[in-house]
Amino acid sequence: MRAVENPISAMFDLSEDVAKQAPMIRRLVRYASAFILVWLFVNILLGIAFLAQGNLFLVLVMLALFIIGVSSMIFLRRINHFFRYYVARHRAITAVRQMDPMVYAPKGSNVTERLVTYLRASIPAFRRKEVEVAMPGILTGSSGMQYNFDAYIKEPASGSWKALGIGGHGFSCFIKTFPHPPDAKELQALKKAVEDVSQRTGIPPVRVIALWERAEDQTISDQAYRFVTTQMVSFSFKSRKLKCAMEIVSETEGAYDFIPYLVQ
């Protein structure tokens, strides 16, 4: 019999080849964008000069070239966004493909401490020396209301981010532990609390986790599942707007279950 390559593996290999070329293509897109920007500036100067000379024909030519240049910039921007999305999706698929089907909880005195230990071990950014961990974390929102989280992990934002909205924005992670499967109303309250606190701190959230220790006969409701898989935590600071997915993490007999599974 003739050997046939696994089609799924072949598709992954093809995707890997494209992903390797993506950084070079994005670099070429940036070079092309820079060239077009310079040309648009020169185009405007030439258009003004021809207008001053009363040469209407060349002014119309410069206007047509300007429109083509602006359209090209829009298309290049879309190409850049596509490759960013493609690489991010490829990275997520690769991580899921390579991950261990069972994620085990580390040692710890309680379910919150164990999850914080796991996150810091599995996410390099959470181990940086600037990162602060509070268990529990009692935080005040922009509304003046105080919220109690079982764990709060943050990397402070830079001064340029606080002043101008540029530079290192840091990150924050919120963990709320429930004694039972969290329902949709509790998830909505958690979402509002994180948005209120993040609005005051100016630090974007990257993980918002509803944590619970699951017994054999327990499961989340359909409403909670739909909420956590469709709703996003919104964050806005100056001119920047970001979104963060919510997540339910359950610990069962020393292993974790993630809904949904988020790739770092």
Per-residue pLDDT tens digits for 110-149: 899 999 998 888 888 888 888 888 888 888 998 889 999 9
- The closest alpha carbon to 237, from 206, 201, 207, 208, belongs to 201
Q: Which residues contact 206 (CB under 8 A, 6 or more apart)?
A: 171, 172, 173, 244
Average pLDDT, the chain: 83
Distance CA 83, CA 90 (A): 10
Architecture of the domain defined by 103-259: 3-Layer(aba) Sandwich (3.40)
Contact 249, 224 (CB under 8 A): no
The H or E element that residue 243 is part of is strand 240-252
Residue 174 pLDDT > 90:
yes
Domains of the chain, residue spans: 7-98, 103-259
pLDDT at 160: 78
Residue 10 pLDDT > 70:
no
Distance CA 173, CA 151 (A): 8
Higher pLDDT among residues 26 and 41, named by residue: 41
Question: In 54-137, which ranges are continuous DSSP H helix?
Answer: 56-98, 111-122
DSSP secondary structure code for residue 123 in this structure: -
Distance CA 157, CA 249 (A): 27
CA atoms 217, 223, 226, 229: torsion sign: negative
Residue 6 pLDDT > 70:
no
**Placement of tokens 């071990």 in the chain:** 121
C-alpha angle 181-212-259 in degrees, rounded to nearest 5? 75
Distance CA 196, CA 190 (A): 10
Across residues 30-59, what is the average pLDDT?
A: 89
